[in-house]
Amino acid sequence: MEINEFIANFADQFDETEASVFTPKTEYRELEEWSSLIALSVMSMIDDEYNVQLTADEMRKAHTVQDLFDIVNSKIA
């Protein structure tokens, strides 16, 4: 799995935030558009694209896109 592909899939869950905003260091919870609905969309995307089920606790522990990528990547390997 590539970080750039993950970022693109992650950014697709946002309607109003430009994709260029997203980098591995993006603290996505700080974004104005972030909500519990988007969190569920991200979890669903991760399940659909990577066949990985994230727990709510794992979502809470991740602060950046890189953190989330690392959690997902560890479950794939």
Quick one: how far is CA 16 from the chain centroid? Answer: 16
For residue 16, CA distances in Å to 4, 42, 47, 59 come to 20, 15, 23, 21
Give the pLDDT confidence of 12-59 residue by residue, as tens digits.
Answer: 999 999 999 999 999 999 999 999 999 999 999 999 999 999 999 999
Confidence (pLDDT) at 2: 95
Q: pTM, whole model, 2 decimals? A: 0.93
Topology adopted by domain 3-76: 1.10.1200
Domain ranges for the chain, please list them: 3-76
